[in-house]
Structure 1
Amino acid sequence: MVCSSAIALGAGIVMGIVCWAIHVQSPAPPPIALIGLLGMVAGESGARLVRRRLAMWRARRKPVR
C-alpha cells in the first residue's frame, strides 16, 4: 500500500512538473482534483471492505461436511 502510494505521488509530481514546463494548465482545478482523489481512495477502501465482508459471509454459509 505504501509503495503504490509513493509511486502514485511520484507520478503526480512528475506530471505536475511536465505540465508546468510546457505551460499547460492542470486538467482540473485543485479543489475538484482533490475531491476526485478522495473519491478514488474511498472507492478503493470501500471495495476492499465489501470484498472482505463477502468472503466472511461466504465462509459462514459454507456447509460443514
Structure 2
Amino acid sequence: MNTPVPTRPIWRKSSYSGGHEGDCVEVADLNGRIGIRDSKNLTAGHLTLTREAFTTLLTHLTSRP
C-alpha cells in the first residue's frame, strides 16, 4: 500500500501585506484550509481557517476604512 508523502506548504506573502514596513503576512493552502502566519516569526506557528472563514475575514478587513 502506498502511503502519501506529506508535502510542505508553499507559503506566499499576502498581497495585503505592507510594502517595506515589515508588516508581512503569509498565506498557504493547507489541504483545503488556509494557513496564515507572521513572516517575521515563523516559529510562532500559524492560524488555520476554513476557506469560508478566510473569505469572511478578508471581506471584513477590506470593508474597514
TM-score of the superposed pair, with normalisation by structure 1:
0.30
More helix by share: 1
Identify which of structures 1 and 2 has the higher relative contact order when contacts are C-alpha pairs closer than 8 Å and 6+ apart.
2
TM-score of the superposed pair, with normalisation by structure 2:
0.30
More strand by share: 2
